[in-house]
Amino acid sequence: MLSHPTLSPPLTLPRRPAVRAPFASPALVLVTLSFAIPTLLFGIWTYRFGVNVPQWDDFSVMATLRYWKENGDLATQLRCLLAPHNEHRIVYTRLVAWGISRFSGGPVDFRLMMLIGNAAVPGLVGLLLWSFRRSHLPLLPWLPVPFLLMQMQYFENCFFAMAAVQNLTVWLWAGLALRLLCRPNGRSLVLAGGFALLATGTSGNGLLVWWVGAGLLMDQRRYRALAGWAVATVLVTTAYTSGLAAAPRAVSLFSVVQSYFGYLGAAVGAGTGMLLPVATGIVLTTAVVVVGWRLRRRESAEFWTGETGFWLAFAGFVILSAVAIALRREPIDVVSVSRYRIGSALMLVLTYLLTVRALGPERVTRWGLAVVIAGSVLFWGATYHRALPHVITLRTELLQDVADFEHAGRLTKAAYQTKRPLFEREWAEAVRWDLYRF
């Protein structure tokens, strides 16, 4: 018998021990916490202290809804929707109030309007975070940004529904429009136009995003896209300014300069006088110009389609908004009125991002970054601590307004006395038309 040959077993290589990839790096965990913690406190604070009480220009929104109920034809309602309100056309605010009224079956919940308006701030932070991650910078320099933006210097927007929707949301729409313009394709161009229209219909400075966008497309040398965007810019600007009769205001060059730099530097806080905000505004403007110029010369031809170009264009929009506000507001107003300070906080953040990009990862030391992060957290906490007495006082006054009007049909708040009959009449009409319930 022939013996069967025995085959040697196949050669086996030693198997590498299984190593599980970490679910998230420590830096990513810190970035997530830096977004989640300020967002959570910002939302809880707004929900806890906001009250369903209209004030000031909120009555104008209710008057619009009442007029829509009285006049049912579409042409009249459209004219009312697009009608100017001071130097703005508050189309988006009116639509938000109308949507809430339709959802509730009648009354407008002004607390819900405040939450919708304030939601734009974490939305803006999310947009900048998405952009930052695409910039290929290390994650740790991002950590100060949520604390600098989701703060409580603009606490008035927790109580003033129309101001929250108008003054906060316009920055989100403008940022989305400019970021989409940095993507060189037709679909992004159309979407950018849609967000630019939203910005225009939210606040007067939203109109400026068309002009910043035109400059962005010109620097990108996308001349076909620029031609269409330029036509849209002229048409929207003409339609927006038609019939917009702004009351003339005597201004001096010194006052305008103070208002401009004071607005950009107002993040240093109220109660500091004009010197520190103006000085801060000068520093921020100079930093953006110098850093932007150096980055433009250093980086590639695709600069204006990248994240650095987006940050610089966004800073340009903030600067043009500051010019427009300086022509319409007194210096003390742009510094002391809390609802305006979102622009200053955004300018501070964009200057910081551009500076980090200019320095590069190798020149951002750990100690320097630790100081900036700790400073931003302390600043964030200080804004809540400083705002708390004002928030409690304002909340008490608004609840007192409700009690006074519900039981006596009168408003006793001192700030209302010059226009009290108007507000009392508007409030009575809103209650009669079931647009507000106590």
pLDDT in tens, the chain (438 residues): 445 555 455 545 455 554 444 456 888 888 889 999 999 999 999 999 999 998 888 888 888 888 888 877 788 888 888 888 888 889 999 999 999 998 888 899 999 999 999 999 999 999 999 999 988 888 899 999 999 999 999 999 988 999 999 999 999 999 999 999 998 888 999 999 999 999 999 999 999 999 999 999 998 888 999 999 999 999 999 999 887 766 556 678 888 999 999 999 998 875 557 889 999 999 999 999 999 888 887 766 566 668 888 999 999 999 999 999 998 888 888 888 888 899 999 999 999 999 999 888 777 788 888 999 999 999 999 999 999 999 999 899 888 888 888 887 787 777 777 777 777 888 888 888 888 887
Instruction: Please name the residues in contact with 209: beta carbons below 8 A apart, sequence gap of 6 or more.
Output: 173, 174, 177, 178, 196, 199, 200, 317
- Residue 19 to residue 285: CA distance in whole angstroms: 50
- Residue 224 to residue 351: CA distance in whole angstroms: 31
User: If you compute the radius of gyration of the chain from its CA atoms, what whole number of angstroms results?
Assistant: 26
Q: Count CB-CB contacts under 10 A for residue 400.
A: 14
| Owner of token pair 């965990």 | 29
Burial class (CB in 10 A: 0-12, 13-18, 19+), 91: middle
276 three-class SS: helix
Q: How much of the chain is helix, strand and coil, in % rounded to 5?
A: 75, 0, 25
